[in-house]
Amino acid sequence: MQDDFHSSTDDLRSSPILSVPVLPFSDFSAASRAAVIFLRNLTSYELCAVMRIDGTESLFLSVNDSDYKIKSGDRLSFDRTMCSKVLSGEYPRYLANASSCLSANDLKAIGLTRKVGAHIGVPLVLADRSLFGTICAINPDPMPELSALQKSTIELVARMLSTILSLELQSLDQRRSYERAKMESESDELTGLLNRRGWDRSLHEEEILCAQYGFSASVMVIDLDNLKVVNDTQGHKAGDDLIRNAAEVIEQTCRSDDVVARTGGDEFAVLTKGISPEGLRAFARRIRIALMVAGVSASVGTSTRTLAKSLTDAWTEADEAMYVSKRSKS
């Protein structure tokens, strides 16, 4: 008996039916495309679609159509759609013979290229009970009444789509909240540049890319020379203005893909990529000149990552070079 049981389970495991995985949908768009195909197969209506209500317009997100020449991305005025009548309660969700409810003028107002003989419109409602849109279908001729099983199946598909969409939107909101919190935690309040936390993360991420792909990267350290004097003689507001001014000059002088951070009270750091030693020296010179023109005196040190020297090591070396430059001014 035990051998028969194991034999039968082995047969199931090797079954070609079980070897084909039933994978989840990648997102709401994929689910809605599958849903309109399913709806058309279930009902034989000529046009099946998932439609979003966008203010006064209806946007077709997913469409399976053979006759009405509607495609994904098309828009209609919402008040010219059958779904608007369904959602207002004027028409039922399942209308097998539209002529029983619609006058000739109503049919003309729909604005489609062919007449409407039958219609299905089931709302898609988000978790907060707000209306997103509908899953709908139109046929040019009247259709047989749908069975109770067909109607309950369509309602189930609508609920599943609403669930997928709600979870996807919640996940998107969570990601946005996380990114905002991450940005706030990594932003320097005074200058808007990255702070030390953001700098450390950027350095770590770039080190991984350099190690994996052989990219080149360099670090520049910039330290303001006279912040203490300004704070002592003019006050901390003047010192803050000096820091903000320096940050703006440095950021404007850097390239768009350079990483700029305020790593300490009067110290800034720049992570720059794909630049030669000669280019790095010229870049440092441009920074010094730009700061000087803005009335800011600063000391600058640079270093480049190598196979034997990580970006963290390069940062330490650039910091030491900056202090050598600062001491030479004494």
Average pLDDT over residues 167-191: 87
- Cα 107 from Cα 50, distance rounded (Å): 21
Which pLDDT value is given to residue 12?
45
> Domain limits of the chain?
2-176, 196-328
CATH number, domain 2-176, options 3.40.50.1000, 3.30.450.40, 3.40.50.12780, 2.60.40.10? 3.30.450.40
Which pLDDT value is given to residue 6?
47
Residue 14, pLDDT > 60, answer no
- Kindly give, in sequence order, each residue whose CB lies less than 8 Å from that of residue 99, ignoring residues fewer than 6 positions away: 117, 142
3-class state of residue 126 by DSSP = coil
Which pLDDT value is given to residue 3?
47
Which helix H or strand E contains 269, and what residues bound it? strand 267-273
pLDDT per residue as tens digits for the range 204-252: 999 999 988 888 999 999 999 988 888 888 988 998 999 999 999 999 9
Asked if the domains at 2-176 and 196-328 fall in one CATH topology, the answer is no
Which class is domain 196-328? alpha beta
> b/e for 212-227, b at 16 or more Cβ within 10 A?
eeeeebbbbbbbbeeb
- In order of 193, 301, 321, 322, 330, the CA distances from 325 in angstroms are 24, 7, 6, 5, 9
By mean pLDDT, which of 68-72, 94-98, 164-168, 283-287 is the weakest? 68-72
Residue 63, pLDDT > 50, answer yes
- Kindly give, in sequence order, each residue whose CB lies less than 8 Å from that of residue 5, ignoring residues fewer than 6 positions away: none
Which pLDDT value is given to residue 161?
96
pTM, two decimals, is 0.61
Q: What is the distance, to the nearest Å, from the Cα of residue 103 to the centroid of all Cα atoms in its chain?
A: 45
